Each structure stands twice: as structure tokens, then as C-alpha cells.
A and B are shown apart, each in its own frame.
Chain A
Amino acid sequence: MQPLTNKIKQVDRKPMTFMEKLYLPAIFKGMTITFSHIFKKKPTINYPEKQRPFSPVFRGLQILNRDEEGRENCTACGLCAVACPAEAITMEAAERQQGEEHLYKEEKYAAKYEINMLRCIFCGLCEEACPKDAIYLSETFTPADYQRKQFIYSKDDLLIPHPKENPDAYQKALGNRPQKVSEN
């Protein structure tokens, strides 16, 4: 039979020589190998204290964006929900009332916006589909939780902090990923 690779190595089945039968040289050799590992760099990162740096294109937890005055960008058009291959996104639209102009950027807004984080596959298609720059994937990942229902993230969990009321948290939530340049 023709071998598939050239990596085949014939197993040596010769009886052991006297030196091999002594076992001890081989054991000492092994012990020096394990001893040398004491001085090797440990690949483990002490996770909660230290975090692995993410690449700029890392796709983590979704965030719902606000504009500079703190108004929600989302208009509940539903394009993200349509784009979502995992069908993780649901939303309910509502009309902006008089006096709510400081809350919502346009006349229509999402009264309810939920992402099921157990369904989400973090593909980023919602971010690509959004015409209003309202949703993007941040640099954090979904934390662990004890109950299934706690993985359904509502607007409270997803909205970015208010840029005026809470500027530090806002800057932190923006992260240092390259900002999407809007076309208009």
C-alpha cells in the first residue's frame, strides 16, 4: 500500500541492549528534561488579574451605540435581526414621543432589544448590517452566569454608557479598536 505521507517511521522492535535494560540512564535523561522545564516560561496567564490583549478586530460582546449627545442610534429597523444567522436578536419598535428627542436620535427607536448570548455566534454580521452605526462588537466577552435566562441581554445590558453623564465609562466602552467611519 502506498503511504499517504512520508512521515512513517518503522517501530524498532529489537531486544533492549544492556544499557537500555538498566533503565537508569533513560530515567536520568528524562529527569533532566523535566528539570529543565522548571526554567521555562509559563504560557498561562493569571486570568482575572491579567488579560490577554485582544486583536483590534476581536469580536466580543455587542454594544448599542449612542451619539455624542448620548442619544440612542438604533431605529429598530430590524436589519441586524435579519442578518443574524443564529437568530439571536429580537426587538420591538416604538415611536418617539414629544419631549424624548434627547433620548433617541430618530423618530423610531427600539423599545425592547434583546440578544440571546447563548445563540449568538459573534460573527459580527449585525455590525455590518446596521445602517445607523448603532450596534458593534466590543472587546469584552460574555461573562459566565448561573442561569439561562440571564444570558438574554436586554437594552440595559447592551447600551453604551452615556457620553455626557459618564464620560470615563463611555471612553472605556469605546475601547481602542479602530472606529467605524460612517459614510454620511
Chain B
Amino acid sequence: MMLLSVDISMVLEKLLLIVVVISASLVIAMYTTFAERKVAAILQDRRGPNRAGPFGLLQPLADGLKLFFKEEIIPAFSSKFLFILGPALAMLTAMMTSAVIPWGGTIELFGRKIDLQIADVNIGVLYVFGVVSLGVYGIMIGSWASNNKFSLLGGLRAASQIISYELAMGISMIALLMVTGTLSLKEMVDLQQASYWNIVYQPLGFLIFLICAFAECNRTPFDLPEAENELIGGYHTEYSSMKLGFFLFSEYINMFISSVIMSTLYFGGYDIPFINEAAMFSPNVVAIIGIAALMAKTSFFIFVFMWVRWTIPRFRYDQLMYLGWRILIPLALFNMLATGGAVLYFK
């Protein structure tokens, strides 16, 4: 029974990593809400939250505390189990994606080599796609269970939007897979470290991926599921207290995770461009620099998410569908064919 003999220290190491990654992504999501308000303010010549703590840094804590102390309202005509399941599922799927992301290289502690990745699955990309697609169930179930027409409309929009854009995203992904020839995120980063970043080979694919990521995260210009001025609050109209908090929070975690995935897939993950850091420092330092590099790229993408949100208005629903089915999918298909041709030609 060698198959079941479990290395205890390995289990401990992975557990520790899970705790660190989950809490880190929660804290980052928390401060992303703060950053969102600050960025919005700065782009609009305002100051933003600056009252709670120095520079307003305690604002997310105050917001979270407020959400905890708000009255918990479950509408009488809702189906209670599903109503609670909705935000829980949204949060769960948002957190699950982080499992396959390589956060850094390898560090050596107590004579053990520890990979900074919870699970190096050889189908990492597929796992990410699967979990991201599950994310829409949280929204759909929550909106259905609310028994409210605005919620239902928001949920419907979310479902159709995510399904439409997932196709283009998947096809743009296939082109990338043809270039790299692997589904493991770790191997992708290694390949990018060895040669150029994937953005060099796949600029069009990245553009499609970026647009679809906006749609998947329900961010402006694709924030139709929660379009405040048409649907009150969209799918979370009936939600209050921490259940609302979970929905809002999962959006920010999704944003964080998709920024990480974009930097991992197209911008070399934890690779630092133009310098060979492995030759200069000890492995542990390299790993830490790598994490910092990944975080820097991620922060940039999060900023782009916000920057776009505070620049352009929302699409109309038919425009959204037109863009998804008539422009992005053909474009992604073209990109896939062109990449396939190029790969064949150069090999």
C-alpha cells in the first residue's frame, strides 16, 4: 500500500501553504476594496477614504465590521437553503482557484524543498476554467432563491454573459496551449522563464483573454448582472449583512485571482524580466523576489481593472452579446487557427 502512505510533513507543509494563501488572498481582496475606492477617488480628483486610521488604511476593517453587525434579512418568500448556499458557493469557488497557481519558485526550509504552489496539477489550466465556471452557480442560485425579479434578471444576465465569454476565453486559451504545449501552470512559468513571455507570442489572445476576464468578473463595462441603475442591485438585491459581503468579496477575490492568472499565463508569473536572478542570489531570496514580482504584476492588473471601471460606461445587453458571439469568438477562432499554422510552420 505504498499509494496511501502519506508523508506527514508534506501534509503539514501543504496545510500551512493553504492557510497562508487563503488568508493572504482574503487580506488582499479586503485591501482591493480599499484600493478600488482610493483609485476611483484619485481618478475623479477626489481624496477617497482617509478617516479610519492613517491614510484610511483601517477602512476595509471598518467596512467588514459594519457588514458583520448589519441585520441579517432573509426574505420570507425565498428558499432559505439556496439563499444561503448562493453566497457561500460564490465565496468557495472564488477561493478554490488559488490552489493551482504557482506563487513563487522553491524555497528551502529545514532541509526540505517547498514548492510555493498548493497543487501542481498537470491540468492546472483546465482546473482553473472549471472552478471559474462553477462561480456562476453561486450568483445564479442566489438570484433564483431571492424570489425577486430584479435578482432573477441579474442572475440570468450573469449566467448568459459568463457562458458567452467563457467560450472566447477558452478558445484564446487553446491558442496559448498550442504555443506552450502544457496545461500545468508551473511548467508554463518555467517555459516563460527560459524564453520570452507568452504575451510576445499571443498578443491578440491576451487581449481576448483580458476582455473575457472582465466579463467573467462582472466588472465594468460588463457589470450588467449588478447594473445598479437598471436592476437596483442585480443578483444581490435581496442580500444583506455578511451574505452581501460574501458576494461583494468574492468579486474582489475573483478579480485578484484573474489578475494572478493573467500574469502567470501571459506575463511570466514570478519571473523577473531581463535579469537572471537565480545566478545572483540564494534560492530562498530568489523565491521571495519571485513572489514580489508576481504581486507587482498582479497589482498592475488589478489597477487596470479599476482604471477601466472608472473610465468607460456599461455596455448595453445586446451590445454585450454581439461583442461576445459575433466579434470575440470569431477573433479567438482566427487567433487559434493562425497560432496553429504558425506552430506547424516553425516546427
Interface residue stretch chosen among B19-27, B94-102, B172-180, B307-315: B307-315
Q: A27-B312, A30-B312 are in contact. Are A40 and B307 (CB under 8 A)?
A: no
**Least distance between B108 CB and chain A CB atoms (Å):** 41
User: How many B residues are at the interface, by size bracket?
Assistant: 10 to 19
Give the docked Cα–Cα distance between A42 and B46 (Å). 6
Most buried by A among B43, B44, B310: B43
Give the docked Cα–Cα distance between A30 and B42 (Å). 15
Asked whether B47 is an interface residue with its Cβ less than 8 Å from the other chain, the reply is: yes
Give the docked Cα–Cα distance between A10 and B307 (Å). 32
**Least distance between B322 CB and chain A CB atoms (Å):** 11
Give the docked Cα–Cα distance between A37 and B45 (Å). 6
User: Are A27 and B308 closer than 8 Å at their CB atoms?
Assistant: yes
8 A Cβ contacts from A32-79 to B: 33-35, 37-38, 40-44, 46
As a 0/1 sequence over residues 38 to 51 of chain B, the CB contacts with chain A under 8 angstroms (1 = contact) are: 00001111110010
Give the docked Cα–Cα distance between A48 and B114 (Å). 52
User: How many A residues are at the interface, by size bracket?
Assistant: 10 to 19
As a 0/1 sequence over residues 319 to 334 of chain B, the CB contacts with chain A under 8 angstroms (1 = contact) are: 0000000000000000
| Inter-chain contacts of A31 with B (CB < 8 A) | 307-308, 311
Q: Chain A contact residues: over half helix, strand or loop, or mixed?
A: helix
Q: Chain B contact residues: over half helix, strand or loop, or mixed?
A: loop
As a 0/1 sequence over residues 157 to 181 of chain A, the CB contacts with chain B under 8 angstroms (1 = contact) are: 0000000000000000000000000
**Least distance between A23 CB and chain B CB atoms (Å):** 8
**Least distance between B39 CB and chain A CB atoms (Å):** 9
User: Are B311 and A30 closer than 8 Å at their CB atoms?
Assistant: yes
User: Are B43 and A42 closer than 8 Å at their CB atoms?
Assistant: no
User: Are A34 and B45 closer than 8 Å at their CB atoms?
Assistant: no
**Least distance between B146 CB and chain A CB atoms (Å):** 33
User: Are B311 and A38 closer than 8 Å at their CB atoms?
Assistant: no
> A31-B308, A37-B45, A38-B43 are known contacts; what are 18 more A-B pairs with Cβ within 8 Å?
A30-B311, A30-B312, A31-B311, A33-B311, A34-B43, A34-B307, A35-B307, A37-B43, A37-B44, A38-B42, A40-B45, A42-B45, A42-B46, A42-B47, A43-B45, A44-B47, A46-B47, A46-B50
- Ordered by A's residue number, 27 sampled pairs between the chains whose C-beta atoms are within 8 Å are A27-B308, A27-B311, A27-B312, A30-B311, A30-B312, A31-B307, A31-B308, A33-B311, A34-B43, A34-B307, A34-B310, A35-B43, A35-B307, A37-B42, A37-B43, A37-B44, A37-B45, A38-B42, A38-B43, A40-B45, A41-B45, A42-B45, A42-B46, A42-B47, A43-B45, A44-B46, A46-B50
